[in-house]
Structure 1
Amino acid sequence: MTMTGYRERFAGKVIVVTGAAQGIGRAVALRAADEGARVVLVDRAELARDVAREAGANAASFLADLETYDGALEAMRFAAETFGGIDILINNVGGAIRMRPFEAFEPVQIDAEIRRSLMPTLYGCHAVIPHLLARGGGTIVNVSSNATRGIHRVPYSAAKGGVNAVTQSLAMELAERNIRVVATAPGGTEAPARSIPRNAEGDTKEEKAWMGEVVAQVKQSSFMKRYGSIAEQAAPILFLASDEASYITGSILPVAGGDLG
C-alpha cells in the first residue's frame, strides 16, 4: 500500500512528538501531519518551529527541556490547550551523548546519559496520562533502542533498558483504562548531519575511534549488514501509534535488520 493509502489514518487525532526538530522525530511529525493528525512538535531547539511550519496549518511547536518534569508537564498542557486534548504521545527524545568503554565514563557523564535517554520518556508518560484519560484512552509510543546490547554505550543502554521496562510495566497498569503503551527499538539509522550535536563538547580523536567500533558492531550485528533509513524507523512508530495496532500493547518492536538487541 502506498503512503497515500494511509492519508487519513490519523484524522481527528492529536499527536505529540518529542524530539521533533530533526532525525526520526522530524520524520514522524511530518508524516503524521500528512496523514491527518494535528501535531505538536516538542523540542528544546528553535529548529522545531521550522519543522512545524513545514508540517502545515495543523501543527504547532513548543520549546521545552524534557529532561525536567516541568518541561514535560508544560508541553502536554500546551498541546491539550492548543488542540483540545491529546490522543497519542510519541516519546522520541534520547540518544547517546558519548561512546566509550564503560570504565572511561566519568560519573557526571553516566548521569547525563540517563537524564537524556530515560527521564524524558518517564516524565512524558507521567505528564500525558491525565490527558489521555480525559479522552477516554489513547496511545503512548516510546522510542527505545536495540543498543540494550551493544558496545561503548553502557549508560545509554541502561537508559533504554529502563524505557523498555517503563513500556511493559505501564502497559500492564493502563490496559484496563484503554491506554496502550508500546515501543520500537531502532538499530543504527542513517541520517543527515545533525543540526544539533549529540555532544556539544565535541568528540576527541579517541572517541571518534570508539564510535567507529560501534558502527562496525552495529552493522555486523544486523542480519542485513547495514543501517536503516529514517523512513524505515518512522513507519513502524506510526503503525504502532495507529488504530491498526489496537491489539498490541506492552510490546517492544525491534527495527534493526534482525538484531534484537
Structure 2
Amino acid sequence: MAAPYAGQYVTPGRFGGKVAVVTGAAQGIGQKVAERIGAEGGAVVLVDRADLVHDVARGIDQAAKVSGSGGSATSVTADLETFAGATRAVKTALAAHGRVDVLVNNVGGTIWARPYQEYDEDKIEKEIRRSLFPTLWTCRAVLPTMMEQGSGTIVNVSSVATRGMHRVPYAAAKGGVNALTQSLAMEVAGRGIRVVATAPGGTEAPPRKVKRGPEAESATEKDWYQTIVDQTVESSFMKRYGTLDEQAAPIVFLASDEASYLTGSILPVAGGDLG
C-alpha cells in the first residue's frame, strides 16, 4: 500500500468540501498532488490507466482516517487518450460525489528522446496522443458539470520543454496544452471557471513503476537522453532538478481558492527556466 503524504507543507482544511479529480495519479507528480489534496481535506478521485492507482487511493483514504483530515479517496482506471476514458473518469467522480470542483490534468510525458529527424510517423503521433489528448479530452468531459455548477478550477500540467532538446513532438504537445489553457480560460471565465497551468522542469522522482516507453539501449540512444538531462540542468538558474514536493505545491496552490484571481496563467516551476 502506498505511504501517506509526507510533504513538509500542508494547509489543513484547505480543500474541505471540495471534490478534486487528479489524472496520472498512480505515481510521480500526480500521486503527490492527490496525496496532498487528501491531506488537506479534499475528496480526491484518482485516475490512471495503471491498477497501481487503487493502492494509492487506499493509502490516502487510510491516512485521512488516521489523521482526521476529512479527506477521502476513490480511484478509477481509464485510458485518457480517448474521450470515452475521460468521460468515464468524470462520471465516476459524479457518481461518488455529485460534483467536480477541481480537475488536475497531469497525464503526459516524453516517451522517446531523439533528434526530430530520428522520429518516425508512428512515434510522433504517439507522443502527441500521450501528452496533449488526455488534457483535451478531460477538459471537454468536465466542462458541462462545471458550467452547470457555475464554478470550478482546471489545473493543467504542461512543461518548460516547449523549448528543449530531443523531444520536439512532446514540446509541440505541451505547447498545445499551453494554448488550450489560455484559450479555454478566456472562454469560460464568465461561467465561474478558472483554467491555469504549471510548467514543470526536470524533476527528481523514483523509478517509474509503469514505463512510458522502452529504455534507451544503444549508446546513441543513451547520448540522446543525456542531452536532455544536461540541457535541463543548464537551462535552470538553480542548476538542479526539482523535487516532487516542489512540483506538487504550486499545482495545489493554483487548484485552491487562494488562487481565485488567477486564470489563463502558466507558471514555470523549473528553477528559473521559463521554457
- Give me the TM-score of the superposition, normalised by structure 2: 0.92
Q: Distance in 2 between matches of 1:159 and 1:254?
A: 16
Q: Distance in 1 between matches of 2:94 and 2:222?
A: 42
Q: Does 1:30 align with 2:35?
A: yes
Query: Where do 1:65-214 residues align within 5 Å?
Result: 65-199=79-213, 201-205=214-218, 206-214=220-228
Of 76, 90, 97, 1:62 maps to 76
1:42 aligns with 47
Aligned residue type for 2:60: A
TM superposition shift of 1:204:
2.4
Aligned residue type for 2:215: G
Q: Secondary structure, in 3 states, of the residue corresponding to 1:15?
A: strand
TM superposition shift of 1:131:
1.4
- Give me the TM-score of the superposition, normalised by structure 1: 0.97
Query: Where do 1:220-259 residues align within 5 Å?
Result: 220-259=234-273
Aligned residue type for 2:192: N
Q: Distance in 1 between matches of 2:268 and 2:151?
A: 25
TM superposition shift of 1:12:
0.2
Q: Distance in 2 between matches of 1:188 and 1:139?
A: 25
Q: Distance in 1 between matches of 2:165 and 2:27?
A: 25
Q: Does 1:19 align with 2:24?
A: yes
Q: Distance in 1 between matches of 2:105 and 2:150?
A: 20
TM superposition shift of 1:113:
0.3
Q: Does 1:3 align with 2:9?
A: yes
Q: Distance in 1 between matches of 2:37 and 2:240?
A: 26
Could you give the per-residue CA deviations for residues 126-170 of structure 1, whole angstroms, max 9, x where no partner exists?
000011123221000000000000000000000000000000000
Aligned residue type for 1:114: I
Q: Distance in 2 between matches of 1:207 and 1:135?
A: 49
Aligned residue type for 1:17: V
Q: Secondary structure, in 3 states, of the residue corresponding to 1:17?
A: strand
RMSD: 0.9
TM superposition shift of 1:81:
0.9
Aligned residue type for 1:40: V
TM superposition shift of 1:208:
1.8
**Structure 2 alignment gaps of length 5 or more:** 1-7, 63-71
Aligned residues: 258
TM superposition shift of 1:102:
0.2
TM superposition shift of 1:10:
0.3
Aligned residue type for 2:148: A
Q: Secondary structure, in 3 states, of the residue corresponding to 1:192?
A: coil
TM superposition shift of 1:202:
2.9
Q: Distance in 2 between matches of 1:154 and 1:53?
A: 37
Aligned residue type for 2:246: E
**Structure 1 alignment gaps of length 5 or more:** none
Could you give the per-residue CA deviations for residues 149-203 of structure 1, whole angstroms, max 9, x where no partner exists?
000000000000000000000000000000000000000000001101120x332
Aligned residue type for 1:248: L
> Identity across aligned pairs (percent)?
62
- Which stretch of the first structure deviates more once superposed, 153-162 or 79-88? 79-88
Aligned residue type for 1:62: V
Q: Distance in 2 between matches of 1:117 and 1:11?
A: 31
Aligned residue type for 2:160: N
Large movers: runs of 4+ above 4 Å: none
